[in-house]
């Protein structure tokens, strides 16, 4: 079902603001609503100059058979009131198999030295123990599926590493992934695909795995996170 949609901020005409730039009348209204509500990463400080040009990959289910993979770019545009932080989204509407292939392609596009660095960190004994300790101490024993928050100092270079870490976790069945979610092959109640956001400024309302600049997550207070630095 591969389909591409766009959400842009329209500055001209009688209807300004964020809009789909293509007709969506042929899609299920519930699916369109899910995409609209979930496409943009959370947070309210996107106007900070440090984030201009930043890219966030956000992936989440829109129904039982489809995922939305949203590539969101922070632009240097300002709205009609001069407010910055305008974002634009390219949304790939995919079947589960198409989504898995898309994520593998994203991972393959990251420079090999960055992926190797992420692999070394993720597969190290220290990381195994850290994830296990984090899982044991901070996650309540309930049926509510927990969120794992990763944090790093924000720079474009750091965030390529962060994206590599997340893509490794969601594309490969590893011990670390299983600390977040036992694979559906073993647990039929597991998510068929993990929802995640590679860059948000607030983890609340985001998916199962989310990366947040460390200063932003510290400012929230009381949010447990794994420090990638």
Whole-number pLDDT of residue 49: 93
pTM: 0.86
Structural domain containing residue 162: 3-227
Closest CA to 102 of 70, 144, 136: 70
pLDDT of residue 69: 98
How confident is the model over 95-124, as pLDDT tens digits? 999 999 999 999 999 999 999 999 888 777
Q: How many domains, in total, are found in the chain? A: 1
Query: Tens digits of per-residue pLDDT, 68-98?
Result: 999 999 999 988 878 899 999 999 999 999 9
pLDDT at residue number 80: 83
Q: How far apart are CA 25 and CA 106, in angstroms?
A: 29
User: Which positions of the chain have pLDDT values less than 70?
Assistant: 1, 125-145, 173-192
């Amino acid at each position: 079902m591969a389909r591409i949609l766009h959400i842009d901020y329209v500055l001209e005409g009688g209807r300004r603001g964020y809009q789909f730039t293509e007709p969506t009348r042929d899609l299920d209204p519930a699916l369109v609503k899910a995409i609209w509500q979930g496409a943009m990463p959370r947070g309210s400080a996107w106007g900070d100059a440090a984030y201009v040009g930043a890219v966030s990959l956000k992936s989440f289910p829109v129904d039982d058979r489809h995922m939305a993979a949203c590539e969101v770019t922070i632009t240097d545009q300002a709205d009609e009131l001069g407010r910055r932080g305008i974002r634009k989204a390219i949304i790939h509407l995919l079947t589960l198999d198409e989504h898995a292939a898309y994520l593998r392609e994203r991972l393959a596009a990251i420079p090999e030295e960055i992926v190797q660095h992420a692999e070394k960190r993720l597969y190290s004994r220290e990381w195994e123990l850290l994830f296990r300790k984090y899982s044991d101490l901070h996650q309540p024993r309930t049926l509510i599926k927990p969120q794992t928050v990763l944090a790093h100092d924000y720079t474009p270079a750091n965030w390529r590493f962060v994206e590599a870490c997340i893509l490794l976790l969601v594309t490969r069945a590893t011990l670390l992934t299983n600390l977040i979610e036992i694979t559906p092959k073993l647990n039929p109640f597991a998510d068929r695909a993990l929802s995640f956001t590679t860059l948000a400024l607030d983890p609340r309302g985001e998916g199962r795995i989310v990366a947040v600049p460390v200063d932003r997550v510290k400012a929230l207070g009381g949010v447990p996170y794994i420090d990638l630095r």
